[in-house]
Amino acid sequence: MSKDIVKPSILPGFMELTPEDQILFNKMLDTIRRNYEKFGFLPIDTPVIEKTEVLLAKGGGETEKQIYRFEKGSTDMSLRFDLTVPLARYVAQHYSELSFPFRRYHVGKVYRGERNQKGRFREFYQCDIDIIGNGSLNIINDAEIPSVIYSTFKDLGFDSFTIMINNRKVLKGFFQSIDIEDSTFVLRAIDKLDKIGIDGVEKELKSLDITDNAIQRIKEFINIKGSNEEVLEELNNLGIDNEVFKEGLEELFEVNKYINLFGVPKDNYKIDLTIARGLDYYTGTVYETFLDEYPSIGSVCSGGRYDDLATHYTKQKLPGVGISIGFTRLFYQLMEAKIIKSEDNSLTKVLIIPMDGFIDNGVKAANALREAGIYSQVYVDGGKIGKIFNYADKLNIPYVIVIGQEEAENNSYSFRDMKTGEQKNISIEEVIKSLK
């Protein structure tokens, strides 16, 4: 390589796809968008760069280390690391222009300088929906969220998936009833159940100085199994006299009742008392979604209810409920597991190949197809027909039209199905008809 040439490469931890994979990626992203819109969520788009003091208003922790932060001029700025903080800032800033309940969706890239490892990305798409209330927000909204998840994953082509539901108040109240006031660390331990098993959880609880008796009660509690109605019944039968617990249980009853009414089949949701969500942020209903046949992928869509979205930016009380799909990681995992494939993905329906001297006919055919809404490309760069067929194959273009002397004289086109190899001489109207 000459010394003037810079090796073309991207930074580690960034995803970049071939166009074929990108087509699939975009299709799936559009499907998510369309489903969010179907349920009345409005789009917003916020700057990728924000003031650091705004993004870190909540305070740093893990996040602060991962953030891409820099100065330009004398301004301290950072790249957003999620879409929730920008939402909080957006709602607080535009409060008087918005109508509540405010349903917004946001599909955009976020940035985290995580440790470099397979399947983890430093730039990734999040697809979020949230419903924000002004002062209060009806619990029925919590029941609608799973129907958005259901509709979206159905439309993405999945059949077997389960939306796990729990309520943080049920957990919190339960812990209070066994004299654990600050349940944050206990919840974090329980949240790891899938990863570290019941023994691992027990060990963590011991390290937190939880009494043996309380640990026993916790184990019994997270062992409650059965149908949703049985779980609710058992929870009720615990006879726990704690206001937070009772409130949570009532919410869980309501959510369970309405989820089904919103059209989510019984097979696709389940109350699971071990779902806690690591974040302290959530205060009521919490969700995680698993692909039944691929549990190792982990939750593909998570979220929950929170009491107050924007405490750091406004005194307005803004409760909300929302979910997020970490789409870049999900796409990577689905591709790795060969659950999705980019084969046969093409936007272009027809490649038109004019022989030498018949470019005019080719262009006219392209015009006619595009006019009819059929995505097509006319190959004007000449060359051997075999090479051009190969080009169509590589791009997964399903149909090819060849135009030469004979076709031009008969005002017809040699129309070839690239999959079957079937070929026939037909008029452009017939081509359009057969493709519509």
- Provide the annotated binding site: 82-84, 112, 126, 130, 277, 281-282
Tokens found for residue 420? 């079957």
Regarding 408 and contact with a second copy (CB under 8 A), the answer is: no
Dist. CA 349–CA 376, nearest whole Å: 6
Peptide linkage before 86 cis (omega within 30 of 0) = no
Q: Copy the structure tokens of residue 26.
A: 């975009």
Are 145 and 323 contacting, i.e. CB atoms less than 8 angstroms apart? yes
Q: For residue 42, what are the contacts with CB-CB under 8 A and spacing of at least 6?
A: 102, 103, 104, 105
**H or E stretch including 400?**
strand 399-403
Q: What DSSP string runs through 53-118? A: HHHTTT--THHHHH--EEEETTEEEEE-S-SHHHHHHHHHHTGGG--SSEEEEEEEEEE------T
Name the residue nearer to a second copy (CB basis): 70 or 213.
Answer: 70
295 touches a second copy (CB under 8 A): no
Choose, by CB under 8 A, the member of 119, 375, 424, 427 that binds a second copy. 375
Residue 49 touches a second copy, criterion: CB under 8 A? yes
Total residues in contact with a second copy, by rule CB under 8 A = 103
Decide whether 133 or 298 has the Cβ nearer to a second copy. 133
User: By CB under 8 A, what part of segment 85-144 binds a second copy?
Assistant: 88-90, 92-94, 97-99, 101, 103-104, 109, 111, 113, 122-123, 133, 136-138, 140-141, 144
Give the x-and-dash track for 147-166 against a second copy (CB under 8 A). ----x---------------
Which of 326, 314, 319, 395 shows the shortest CA–CA distance to 138? 319
Within 165-194, which residues bind a second copy (CB under 8 A)? none
Judged by CB under 8 A, the residue of 314, 339, 404, 412 near a second copy is 314
Here's the x/- map for a second copy, 229-268, by CB under 8 A: it reads as: -----------------------------x--xxx-----
Q: Which of residues 4-43 bind a second copy (CB under 8 A)?
A: 4-11, 14-20, 22-23, 25-26, 37-40, 42-43
Among 297, 370, 389, 435, binds a second copy (CB under 8 A): 370
380 touches a second copy by CB under 8 A: yes
3-state secondary structure of 164: strand
In angstroms, give the least distance from the CB of 87 to a second copy. Answer: 11
At 241, the amino acid letter reads D
Binding residues for L-histidine: 82-84, 112, 126, 130, 277, 281-282
3-state secondary structure of 338: coil
